[in-house]
Amino acid sequence: MKIRISLVSILSVLICLQCAEPRVDQTREVITLKKGWKFEKGHHPNASKIAFDDSNWQNVTVPHDWAIYGPFDKNIDKQTVAIIQNGEEIATEKTGRTGALPYIGEGWYRNTFSLENFDETKKVLLLFEGAMSEPEIFLNGEKIGEWKYGYSYFYFDISAYINGTSKNTLAVKLTNVGKSSRWYPGAGLYRNVRVILKNKESFEHWSTFITTPSVRQDEAKVNIKTKVSGTDLKLVTDIFDANGHKINSKETSTVINSTFEVNIKVNQPQLWSPETPYLYTAVLKLYKGDILKDEITQRFGIRTINYSHKTGFSLNGEIRKFKGVCLHHDLGPIGTAVNISALRRQLKILKDMGCNAIRSAHNMPSFEQLELCDEMGFMFLAESFDEWKKPKVENGYNRFFDEYAEKDVVNLVRATRNHPSIVMWSSGNEVPDQWGSEGVKRAKWLQDIFHREDPTRPVTVGMDQVKAVMESGFGAIMDVPGLNYRVHLYEEAYERFPQGFLLGSETASTVSSRGVYKFPVEIASMKTYPDFQSSSYDLEYCSWSNLPDDDFVLQDDKPWVIGEFVWTGFDYLGEPTPYDEAWPSRSSYFGINDLAGLPKDRYYLYRSRWNKTDETLHILPHWNWEGREGETTPVFVYTSYDSAELFLNGKSLGIQKKSNDTKQNRYRLMWMDVKYEPGTLKVVALDNNGNPAAEKEIKTADEPYRLVLDSDVKTIKANGEDLVFVTVSVEDKNGVPCPTATNQLNFEVKGSGTYRAACNGDATSLELFHLPTMKLFSGKLVVLVQSTENAGEIKLTVTGTGLKKGEIVINSI
């Protein structure tokens, strides 16, 4: 099968993402309901009524995750289950599987808003970008609708329920039931809620779709389709380049089935790619006579994608592979409440690693994440479901599949199909429906819906039952056959499937704890330890998975393997494999980065292979091993160089060169017989001629002495939302990092900011994120400081008993 795709994508900015107050222009008003919310958890049968007294409820801002504030409790959503995806056959008690946080139960939100410009000529939409879970919506005491899927975006036309120009009372009931998730799902209105006031004669919501039937070096043909309400209308479309210069314009009054179609030429188009994420802007104006009725502004990118039996995947005519990671939707210590600063930090970290693609696991991505991927240059695999008709968990999406699956796919595609970053859809992940003919029919049905709504992109499914999908035909019907793990079946799948290529839709599931090293150093599956940590020598994996090196070999040696999406880019709350039967353990160990966003050693293994621009030279383990003097302490080096020489206290321990002897030797430099002695460990990387090219050293630290603070940014916006992430570490008197420090620290924020949260990346920690105190883990933690709406200096002070305090100043503007 060969799919030739040429696409120009749009990024809708119909809604002002930063607005706390109404944004008024000539044609429409958008209110982002961030402030003024009242929240209460519990059963409140009269909370939908206008006169209900919510004065004693908690004041919150939205996005909001009610469960992230804890406490951690192993009895929350304790599940006795055999995890089929992990190959388990006997049910056992699982604690921490959904993060051990109190997401279960009812939650109510109430707010009021006014529409001063409302009259009978207007239409009002109420948009929810994410509500966990099973939302029921009430306006002015009347139920206006409901949805089921907590990850879906949806909207209602509420024009008939509006109280004119007076106050309108909005109430939202959310219900999270136990045994409804395999990971921490969050709870609450965790993404934005917006009210859109526009003329009845206007663009239909999520109806605009822009493609390019042809893209050449000298010109691109831009095709715009958009649906409208009203008659005798005219569409004027202007195209602007990235500098705001108008480069073309087109006017049309031809409407067929309420749809305008326009073709506009862009000369010498700048193509969108991860390296050059160039974005244009389209302004669409809708007129009746000479009266402007509606106007939308949209960014878009021009690029071509191609999936071919002969060449695999190509972008803009260039064959390339996905160097991707999977991301859950929680943002560590702030939970699932979407935050642009937190998302941007994640993507910056991944960009430095050389990552070029993201897979949303296993649900619809946020609009903010897609916008950032458009801007920063990440290809995106947008996923829809973790479950179809056959259940993975007792109260999962299977309850709603028949009624909602098509509606959820339609909303996903229409809301996001115009992002240049999206290059593929996924209709499911490891669904039990992979077995049997009914599953094949469901796969085809869902894929056809995606094709109907967007004929320009292919569809995949993350398939883990590879033998089953070979036999049933499930894998053969997919546009892109995605294999989750099962590296030993790649060759057979390639021979059996007709597409001519395979995607590693989920790979590795290697486990590690940042800064923790276990001896002896050996390859092991499902290895556990008394401290509930996993070794950061990156040689431990899960029963169903494998080591990174296994995937590297396939990616490098098999041109028909078009890339991989590593499980996962960051640790996430829940699924604490291999400790999901142990307590305390409440977050994953899979991440290349930990829950605080701090890189583990594995980060540098991927960086050494993926980042072709910057040098990588990284040593592990740390060199503080009191009591191990004279014992074998292997040293690994992850580097973009092919060889290096290791020195301990000035004595050479020999040169290691990457080779094909083993998979590990091909990608890691390893000195397996090093005997520990305190002092200085230095590695000197060698160029292709054997000459020194770079060096790195680590030293044995003395007692912790001072705290050191470093922020990811120096300036943030005074909007009450921006975050700064401050990494706190500890050094001895000589400035040597103390990699084993576990001091209890306290945090104080003064000035134009507030303390938001802290995280140390320890999957076993039960300390609450929002309290201003936490222990260091492996010598580090991260403090999150949030701006207020007042510009000025923000000062963070960190103290710990016996330590010289650390301070940092951030400017809020």
Report the catalytic residues: 430, 506
- CA-based R_g, the chain, Å: 27
Is residue 86 within 8 Å of residue 542, measured between CB atoms?
yes
CA quadruple 350, 356, 360, 365: dihedral positive or negative? positive
Strand ranges across the sheet with 635-639: 617-620, 635-639, 669-671
CA quadruple 741, 701, 782, 133: dihedral positive or negative? negative
| Residue for token pair 């004693």 | 56
Helix (H/G/I), strand (E/B), else coil: 369: helix
Q: Closest Cα to residue 342, out of 611, 716, 614, 762? A: 716
- CA 291/CA 201 separation, integer angstroms: 11
Strands 643-648 and 322-327: unpaired
Q: Closest Cα to residue 35, out of 193, 259, 141? A: 193
Burial 147-158 (b: 16+ CB within 10 A, else e): bbbbbbbbbbeb
- CA 560/CA 542 separation, integer angstroms: 26
Distances (CA, A) of 731 to 404, 593, 762: 55, 22, 20
Tell me the two tokens of residue 651: 């004595």
Strand ranges across the sheet with 168-176: 58-60, 37-41, 105-113, 168-176, 136-139, 142-146
Tell me the two tokens of residue 410: 């339609």
Beta strands in 687-805 (DSSP E): 692-699, 706-711, 715-716, 723-731, 744-751, 753-759, 773-775, 780-787, 792-800
Q: Which residues have a Cβ under 8 Å from the Cβ of 389 and sit 6 or more positions away?
A: 398, 401, 402, 433, 438, 442
Beta strands in 616-671 (DSSP E): 617-620, 635-639, 643-648, 651-657, 669-671
- CA 201/CA 230 separation, integer angstroms: 5
Helix (H/G/I), strand (E/B), else coil: 449: helix
Tell me the two tokens of residue 349: 């970290």
Is residue 810 within 8 Å of residue 793, measured between CB atoms?
yes
Collect contacts of 556-561 with beta carbons under 8 A, ≥24 apart. Answer: 558/490, 558/494, 559/312, 560/312, 560/494, 560/500, 560/501, 560/502, 561/312, 561/321, 561/490, 561/501, 561/502, 561/503, 561/504
Q: Which residues have a Cβ under 8 Å from the Cβ of 772 and sit 6 or more positions away?
A: 746, 747, 748, 755, 758
- CA 323/CA 304 separation, integer angstroms: 18
Q: Closest Cα to residue 338, out of 723, 795, 755, 724? A: 723
Please give the DSSP secondary-structure letter assigned to residue 21: S
Is residue 185 within 8 Å of residue 132, measured between CB atoms?
yes
| Residue 746 bridge partners (DSSP) | 773, 799
Is residue 668 within 8 Å of residue 616, measured between CB atoms?
no
Rounded to 10 degrees, the C-alpha dihedral 648/652/653/655 comes to: 130
Is residue 164 within 8 Å of residue 185, measured between CB atoms?
no
Angle between helix 401-416 and helix 437-453 axes, rounded to 10 deg: 30
